[in-house]
Every structure is written in structure tokens, then in C-alpha cells.
A and B are shown apart, each in its own frame.
Chain A
């Protein structure tokens, strides 16, 4: 029930913020913030409430679960549930939602109500994605995430927003369509095999899909999540969308929407098609490694600070793809940690760039420079986030990246070694960013105020989160362990798909 409340509160908050937006802008912002804080409280309850399935490692044991029949004849039900992995990602969702609202506090002055409506609807969609256990419902929320985000970019974005928004939309749609087809085909195959026509995740989990068909279905899912993650080769929507989106939108895009791709791999693509996933694992791992290097390579070349940060997402999520398909518990745990770490650090970096843009009205690296003297707090925060991003031990990103590489090393030493180059290349672009913005002779742009209390509180939370995750990652690792183990047993157990 609590999961449903999460969704309801978010959507109600969206509508309330929209309505209040006709009254005053401030009311709208506060409404959004309050809705998210209520969400946070609900989530805390969900965490703390006793659950009799806590700690079990079998798939299909959820900490909290809810199932209402919805469209009976088609076998669609309102089935939502969380386990450790989902809870972690939900926590990230709510937290980054708060960061996004905060980041947009002074930036958005125009149609504020509608902005917060879109923001909170995107969040609702994301929450739905992380909790849905019915494939149709999952797809519904998947699309729900997309449309408000499109509006966020196209209405409140920057100069090139129309191009970026449409590109984002088309890419994601083109990716999702094969997944939809795969869902429907799976529905039919399962129905024909067992006589039960259902979209329910639990029911579909054990479906025996004949060889080649299974491979294509897996590819359908793979493609949707590959566009979202993004996997290198399908990533070109990301820089444009991230750069042109408003700060709050970028925080959500980078911090959350990309994670839905990874979540999709972990929750759907791998468990539903274990044998086929193992078949494609080498390709996926190579793509992941390529992403690590190529993303870093591209990031360094950018003139636009926001675009630079956007490309770092491609690089970091390359680690995630590598970790997911390496298939060892170390690598999987590392991938999950990276999801959280990346959400925090990159969300923070987008906030920094947004703050820069608000103050100096430019994102171009050749126009900024030497800003440490005038905005030392901003500089300090940016330096910390850049250092986290390059993978300094003791901070969150290192834990994830190191675990992934360590886990990959036992499967493919070569790929792990090449992936380790990511450490070097990430330090190149991170410190380059700091160099061009905060160091060197001072650029003579306007005099601007340093970070205020509101911003420092949010940054403080982000920094605390990164440090905590870096030094005490064990709680997170423990929380994700049941899922990881069930994933490993399901992929290890199936050697060949029947009919192959």
C-alpha cells in the first residue's frame, strides 16, 4: 500500500504545484518540495517497516508488494513491489527530486506551476518504473517518464532545445518499441505454453522461450535499455538532451532516467532471458568498455561545460554495463553502487554547472576561468564532485568502479585492464573542467554571489552521501545482495534455452 501512496503523493503534488502556480511561483515550488519530503518520509517508513520477506534471496520475494487486478481480460494487473535494489533506487529518486526542485528554485521564473507539474510527473513515472512488476504497467510508466521530460526540455530548455527534445524523444521511442513488441510476444508465448495469459512479471519469469525467438525478444528489451543507459553507439541523444535541458531536468535525466535503463537490465532483460543474456554478454562487455573510454575521450574535447558533464555520464555508465554483463557478484554489486554514486556526483555536477550558468550566463569553458577567487564555495564543491567523479578512493564512485573492474577481471582480464584506463581518462576530463572554470587568471565576467544557504544545504547532503557511500558502502551492498544473488543463480542455472 505504501508504494501506491508514494505514487499518489507524487502525482497529487504535481497537480497541486501546477494549480498553486497560478497563485504564486513560490507556492508552487514549496508544494513540490513538500510533496517530495512527504515521499521521503513514506520511503523511510517503507525501509523501516517490518517485512517478513526481508533478507530472503529468492526472486519473487518482495519487501513490500501490492497487487490489484486492472484489466483482467488482458491479464494486466496493478502489481507493484520493491526489494533492496528498488528501494535504493527509490531513495535516489526522491533525493534527486529534491535536488532538482532546489536547483530550479531561482532558475525557472516562467510558468513555474507547469514546470513543477512536469518535474513531479517525471518523478512519478520513475517511481512507477522502479516498482512496477507487471510488464504492461512497467511499459506504461516507462512512457510516462518520457513525455513530461520532453516538455521540460522543449519549454524550459536552452537555445537548441527543440532539436534536443525531439532527438531525445525519437531515440527513446525507437528504443522502446522493440521492447513493447517483445513484451506482447512474450505474453503470447507464455499464454500458449501455460494457458495463462498474463503480463505479470512473476508469471513470465520462468517462461521457456524457444531459441532464436528468445534471442530476439531479449534484444528487444536490450535495445530499449541500451538507448536509455546509454550504451555507446546509441548514446548521441544524451549530450544534446542533457545540455539543453534546464538544470532540474538535467539532474533528473542524468541522475534517474539513465538509471532506469540499468534497472531494466537488472530486473527484466537478465532474469527473463538468462541464457540469451549470457550469449550476448561478451558483446555487451566490449560495448561497456568502449563506452568508458569513448565517453571520457569525448568529454575532454567539449567546449561547453554542461556537455562535458553529460559525456561523463556515458563513461560512467559504461562501467555499469560492463559490470552487469560480467556476471560476477562483485561486478554486479559494483554496478549498483555506481548507479547510486553516479546519481549523486553527476547530479551534483549538473547543479554546479547550472549555478554557474545562472550567475555568469555562459557555459563555455573558454569564457569562464579563475572563478575560485570570487566563488570559493562553488569551487570547493565542484572540486569535490570532480574528484569523486574521477574515482578517488574513499568516495562513492571508486567503490563502484573498482568493484566492477575487480569483478570483471576474473572473467576477462583484458577488458578489466582496458576499463582501468577509464581511471586515467576520467581524471583528464574532471581536472580539465576544474582548470578551465575555476583556475587560471580570472575571467572578467560579472561579479556574482557565491553559493547561498539553500544551495549549500543540498550540496552538503550530496557530499555527505558520497563520502558515506565511499567509506561505509556495506549497508548498500547488503541491501542489494539478495537481488544480485538471485540474478546470479538464475543466469547460472540455465545453461541452454530449451529448443536450441
Chain B
């Protein structure tokens, strides 16, 4: 079965998504947006796995996506509860307000 989307293109899309997510993590200040960007990175990885699976004509890539999704779900649940706490303690969703480390 030929792929409908060529693998290199797919991997490129995945890479792009990853970079966008990375930049989002590094640049954005809103914790929700950072979480979102992390999700985006997760999904980019998943996409890369799916395309890899299609290259090797194995279902393993799609199986990996399940794993990644599970991890993402767990991470989001923990993360969102931490965000709630953060909002309650500091009254803001800006990460710079919780920066207590001085190095």
C-alpha cells in the first residue's frame, strides 16, 4: 500500500511541529500555553512515529502513538493540577512570577 503522504514530508511536518512546540515552551510565559506547546511536541513525536511505522509497513508506529498519548494524558493531568495550585498560591499564570531560583 503506497503512502498517501510521502514519509519525508510527514517527518518534516513532525519536525516543524516539534520546533514550534519547543519554541513555544521556551518563549511563552503563560503556563497553559507552555503545557499546550508540550502537548504539541508530544504529538509531533507521535506523528513521527506513525510515519516511521508506515515506512516500515509495521503497526508499531501507531502502537507507539498510543503510548505517547497515554503519557501525555498523565502528564497533562498532573500538570493541570499543578497549574491550579500555582494559580491559587501566586494568583497568576505567568511563569516569571514563580521563579524563585537564583542559581
Task: State yes or no: do A and B touch (Cβ within 8 Å).
Answer: no
Question: Which residues of B pack against A, CB within 8 Å?
Answer: none
Question: Which residues of A pack against B, CB within 8 Å?
Answer: none
